[in-house]
Structure 1
Amino acid sequence: MYKSIENPMSEIFKYLAISILFMFIGFIFGQMFVPISFAYYANKIFILLVIGLLIMSIFSRKNIIPRSFSMNFVYMFTFIDGIIIYPLLQYYLQDLGKDVFISILVATIVLFTVLAKLASRKDAGYYLGLGNILFAGLIGILIASIINIFIGGNALSIVVSIIGVVIFSGYVLYDISLIKYEIENGDIKEKNDLSIHVLNLYLDFINLLLDLLNISSILND
């Protein structure tokens, strides 16, 4: 017997905040145990990590991942992601400096919040029509990222990141619309039904952060 959720949207943002916290705990864990020398491979790590996160985004949006699962899986995923992402974030900290890094993190949070509020004020399902366009863009970014492994260069990398910011900004709008739509249709009944939405929003947030950091790092160089 499941326990009904009084305010699913608030619960989703609560669990999203916890998930991001787990990511930063994983980052701290990485600082303690992952060799700092890994930061010198930041460019390769960025490409591989982006590919991994893009594949995860594709899986989560094409029902390859179950629609309902334990929130503990999300926490475990974000914690491990924090460990994996540590060398890259450490590189950006060193390259951009602490103040710029924190400014970009705050800018990402502000951008995400503004987009989420914009979508939440629209009718349920308002941005669902963007789904096919966004997914096509996601596939395009994945292909470009794979190509970038072989040809390298900052030009393609910054183009991919700029497009990535546009795509994942669109996905924030889409995902909030989808959540509102499912709430109105009674599809969200228990905590496990929230997990896929928390995971999707986490992927939106972390991809936005990484793309903005990459753009800033390239422009800084």
Structure 2
Amino acid sequence: MAQPSVNKFPSYVASHLKRVYWTLSVSVALMFIGMVVHTYTSIGYTLVPQVLVFASLLLFVSFPRNPQTEKTRKYLLYCFSTMVGCELGPLVEVAFERDPDIVLNAVSGTAVVFLCFTGAAVVAERKSYLFLGGFLSSVLSILLLFSVFSFIIPLKIEEYVQLYLGLVMFVGYVLFDTQLIIERAYNGSTDAVSDAVTLFIDFVGIFVRILVALLKNSSEKESKEKRKRK
């Protein structure tokens, strides 16, 4: 994954951002490797990825954030990202069987969206997107409420809200989290691994929603074509 320009920052901030984006790039690569592992082993249909995702994340959170534990936490992140890829394997497999272009478009679309918005956050004026924090928290609360209500009263609109409003939310978090990482670096907080985890979660959130949206559109298009033939 290409790194946004960091030339305008002090050397210590630029160095931190390079480490964050390098760690993020490795994590994303391992996620896609996890998807490939699923195609050969079908591990995504088992509970193993879910257990390892939970365990690695729990261990990651439990370790203190200091230079002495950075390497261990980085390995836990890499385990987490690989298992996330395995867990997403069945979804990717369904999309690939329907049309390989869906997966390719989802990957390229996610990369373009992520790089454009994280780049916009990097080149923008400092703190200019931090105001999004409150708005994004409200959107997250709405999505959680919709999830709760859907268990009680099934709503057809809930699927679209989770998909498209969720996509907007994660794109907003890319802007917000990137500038928050920059501000923390200015203030001396340079935990590259934790910052990479934040951006990785944003990346996965965007990827899953783009993939599902493309898969849904393909299915609806196929249904319309079948009705026309009748």
TM-score by length of 2: 0.73
- Letter paired with 1:216: L
User: In the alignment, which residue of structure 2 is the partner of 1:45?
Assistant: none
User: In the alignment, which residue of structure 2 is the partner of 1:20?
Assistant: 28
The more displaced of 144-153 and 76-85 is 144-153
- Kindly state the Cα deviation for residue 142 of structure 1 after the two structures are TM-superposed: 2.8
- Whether the 8 Å CA contact 1:154–1:218 is kept in 2: the answer is no
SS at match of 1:128: coil
User: In the alignment, which residue of structure 1 is the partner of 2:227?
Assistant: none
Q: Give the structure with higher Rg (CA).
A: 2
User: In the alignment, which residue of structure 1 is the partner of 2:92?
Assistant: 89
**2:157, 2:118 → 1: CA distance?**
30
- Whether the 8 Å CA contact 1:158–1:218 is kept in 2: the answer is no
Q: Provide closer, same or farther for how the CA distance between residues 148 and 105 of structure 1 changes in structure 2, counting only shifts above 3 A.
A: farther
Of 121, 124, 127, 1:122 maps to 124
- Whether the 8 Å CA contact 2:114–2:203 is kept in 1: the answer is yes
Identity of aligned residues (%): 22
Q: Provide closer, same or farther for how the CA distance between residues 90 and 67 of structure 1 changes in structure 2, counting only shifts above 3 A.
A: farther
**1:147, 1:22 → 2: CA distance?**
35
TM-score by length of 1: 0.76
Of 134, 137, 142, 2:136 maps to 134
Note the residue ranges of structure 2 that are not aligned, 5 or more in a row. 1-11, 220-230
- Whether the 8 Å CA contact 2:102–2:215 is kept in 1: the answer is no
- Whether the 8 Å CA contact 2:35–2:88 is kept in 1: the answer is yes
- Whether the 8 Å CA contact 1:128–1:177 is kept in 2: the answer is yes
SS at match of 2:131: helix
Of 102, 110, 120, 1:100 maps to 102
**1:5, 1:119 → 2: CA distance?**
14
Q: Provide closer, same or farther for how the CA distance between residues 106 and 162 of structure 1 changes in structure 2, counting only shifts above 3 A.
A: same
**1:152, 1:35 → 2: CA distance?**
31
1:130-153 Cα shifts (integer Å, max 9, x gaps): 112112212322332344456667
Note the residue ranges of structure 1 that are not aligned, 5 or more in a row. 39-48
**1:77, 1:91 → 2: CA distance?**
22
Alignment of 1:127-166 (within 5 A): 127-148=129-150, 155-166=157-168
Q: Say if 2:163 is the partner of 1:171.
A: no
- Kindly state the Cα deviation for residue 67 of structure 1 after the two structures are TM-superposed: 7.7
- Whether the 8 Å CA contact 1:12–1:194 is kept in 2: the answer is yes
Q: Aligned-pair RMSD on alpha carbons? A: 2.8
SS at match of 1:7: helix
Q: Say if 2:212 is the partner of 1:214.
A: yes
**1:130, 1:28 → 2: CA distance?**
36
Alignment of 1:191-202 (within 5 A): 193-202=191-200
SS at match of 1:123: coil
- Letter paired with 1:160: Q
Alignment of 1:2-81 (within 5 A): 7-34=15-42, 38=45, 68=65, 70-81=73-84
Q: Provide closer, same or farther for how the CA distance between residues 199 and 65 of structure 1 changes in structure 2, counting only shifts above 3 A.
A: farther
Greater relative contact order: 1 or 2 (C-alpha under 8 angstroms, separation 6 or more)?
1
Q: Provide closer, same or farther for how the CA distance between residues 111 and 220 of structure 1 changes in structure 2, counting only shifts above 3 A.
A: same
